């Protein structure tokens, strides 16, 4: 997977990778936000 970056990846593969990484980033951010809210409410009371 990482060795492929030595060559220029074709556009379709690049966009696929970009979409997947963006989705993972959003998902992790959303999970972090939920955890933050949970801790905020738990510690707030």
What does the pLDDT look like over 13-31, one tens digit per residue?
889 999 999 999 999 999 9
Give the pLDDT of residue 21: 95
- pTM attached to this predicted model: 0.57
Distance from C-alpha of 28 to C-alpha of 31, rounded to nearest angstrom: 5
How much is the pLDDT for 13?
87
Confidence band of 38 (pLDDT split at 50, 70, 90): very high
Residue 4 has pLDDT above 90, yes or no: no
Q: Kindly indicate the confidence band of residue 11, based on its pLDDT and cuts at 50, 70 and 90.
A: confident
């Amino acid at each position: 997977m990482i060795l492929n970056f030595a060559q220029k990846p074709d556009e379709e593969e690049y966009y696929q990778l970009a979409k997947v990484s963006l989705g993972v980033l959003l998902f992790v951010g959303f999970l972090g936000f939920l955890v933050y809210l949970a801790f905020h409410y738990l510690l707030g009371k």
